[in-house]
Amino acid sequence: MSKKRTEVPDFTQWTVIGRGDERTCFGNPDDPRRCIKVSSRERAKQSHREIRYYRYLKKRGIPFSHIPEFFRVIETETFIGIEQERILDPSGRSPDDMRHYLKQPLSASEQKAFWDAMADLKSYLVKYNVIPCDLVMSNMLIVKSGAGLEIKMVDGLGGAEFIPFSNYLRFFGKRKIDRKWQKFVDSIVRPHFELYQNHEATPGQTTGSGNE
């Protein structure tokens, strides 16, 4: 009836698949591979930054192998939604986030697969100069595929500073990724890992030149 065909899906009826500090993530019942991340307009700073950054990455043609693919923005008077790929494991289940995953007892080979996947995610960020602004375990989903494991970063993308040089200049980008990654591993992931797992598989050195 309306002249403007906005086609806003009624996601209020959809299943909530996750909640963060700012956004609620709804699963699309008609397409299990899609979700919408919604924030109210008053608290949409993070969403605006992410949308800007996703558009920029899409234009650059980077592969969406370690972050969800971005589809579109859905806006109304009261909310802003980001429609993106929903991360699922190969059997269609919702993956654990990193914090929960590491609380389970893991075998030595699972522990190794975890640190390999960490190195792989870091290589991806550096290779495509994808700059994180918020590296925390709740933003990392662990997808088990066969014997291997992949870590998908679903939130916390894009430089937070006023003029995000590192988004555009690879040299500054790598420096920033290295610094943030080191802090993430040293002050968040490794202490959590050591609290719940035996120590054998903890790598002595996870940073450095990037050769794993």
Binding interface with ligand ADP (CB under 6 A)? 17-23, 25, 35, 37, 46, 68, 84-87, 97, 138-139, 154-155
Q: Which is nearer to Mg ion, 150 or 155 (CB)?
A: 155
Task: State the minimum distance, in angstroms, from the CB of residue 185 to ligand ADP.
Answer: 19
Q: If you ran DSSP here, which 8-state letter would residue 185 be given?
A: I
Paired strand residues for 157: 132
Give whole-number Cα distances, 200 to 8, 62, 120, 150, in Å: 51, 35, 20, 21
Alpha-carbon distance 142 to 125, whole Å?
17
Contact characters 92-131, Mg ion, x per CB under 5 A: ----------------------------------------
Is 188 a binder of Mg ion (CB under 5 A)? no
Give whole-number Cα distances, 162 to 49, 80, 167, in Å: 11, 22, 11
Task: State the minimum distance, in angstroms, from the CB of residue 164 to ligand ADP.
Answer: 18
Alpha-carbon distance 140 to 181, whole Å?
13
- Smallest CA-to-CA distance from 187 within 118, 135, 152, 140 is with 135
Q: Which is nearer to ligand ADP, 26 or 114 (CB)?
A: 26
Residue 202 interaction partner, one of ligand ADP, Mg ion, none, beta carbon < 5-8 Å per kind: none
Query: Which residues from 130-169 bind Mg ion, rule CB under 5 A?
Result: 139, 155
Q: By the criterion CB under 5 A, which residues form the site for Mg ion?
A: 20, 139, 155
